[in-house]
């Protein structure tokens, strides 16, 4: 069984790594359609549309114009979620993301954070670097 360390992961906007990543999550779901008919003893379903969303948490970096700077609300970007690194053969999830949210966190005793939320359009592709 392969295991991956979180600190090896990266997220890219196009081919550019997003700087200062703290964490990221990718959530993929599928709708279901009920197909139960009279006489069935249990409900039955078939899979329907897939959906995916993602969240990327970073330390805010306004100098990262080719990474964080591309993640403006309303924009559409190609994203690559690489959970094990950036070496040839490493796993990745890819898709087109619409940036749906931006949250800036500021505290007197901490580092400023930026969190980006994304709606994946057209589904995710599983591949390798």
Residues ≥6 apart with Cβ < 8 Å to 80: 11, 12, 92, 93, 94
Residue 90 CA to residue 88 CA, distance in Å, equals: 6
pLDDT digit string, tens, across residues 46-76: 999 999 999 999 999 999 999 999 999 999 9
Where residue 93 falls among pLDDT bands split at 50, 70, 90?
very high
Residue 67 CA to residue 72 CA, distance in Å, equals: 10
Q: Is the dihedral of CA 100, 19, 23, 50 positive or negative?
A: positive
Residues ≥6 apart with Cβ < 8 Å to 126: 91, 92, 93
Read off the pLDDT of each residue in 98-110 and give the average, rounded to a whole number: 96
pLDDT digit string, tens, across residues 6-28: 788 999 999 999 999 999 999 99
| pTM for the whole structure | 0.89
- Provide φ and ψ at 6, rounded to 5°: -60, -35
pLDDT digit string, tens, across residues 70-80: 999 999 999 99
Q: What's residue 2's pLDDT?
A: 73
């Amino acid at each position: 069984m392969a295991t991956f360390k979180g600190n090896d992961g990266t997220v890219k906007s196009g081919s550019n790594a997003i700087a200062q990543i703290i964490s990221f999550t990718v959530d993929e779901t599928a709708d279901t359609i009920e197909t139960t008919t009279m006489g069935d003893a249990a409900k039955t379903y078939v899979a329907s549309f897939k959906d995916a969303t993602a969240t990327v948490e970073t330390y805010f970096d306004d100098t990262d114009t080719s990474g964080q700077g591309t993640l403006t609300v309303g924009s559409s970007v190609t994203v690559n979620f690489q959970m094990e690194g950036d070496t040839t053969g490493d796993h990745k999830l890819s898709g087109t993301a619409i940036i749906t949210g931006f949250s800036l966190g500021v505290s007197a005793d901490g580092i400023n954070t930026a969190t980006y939320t994304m709606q994946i359009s057209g589904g995710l592709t599983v591949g390798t670097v």
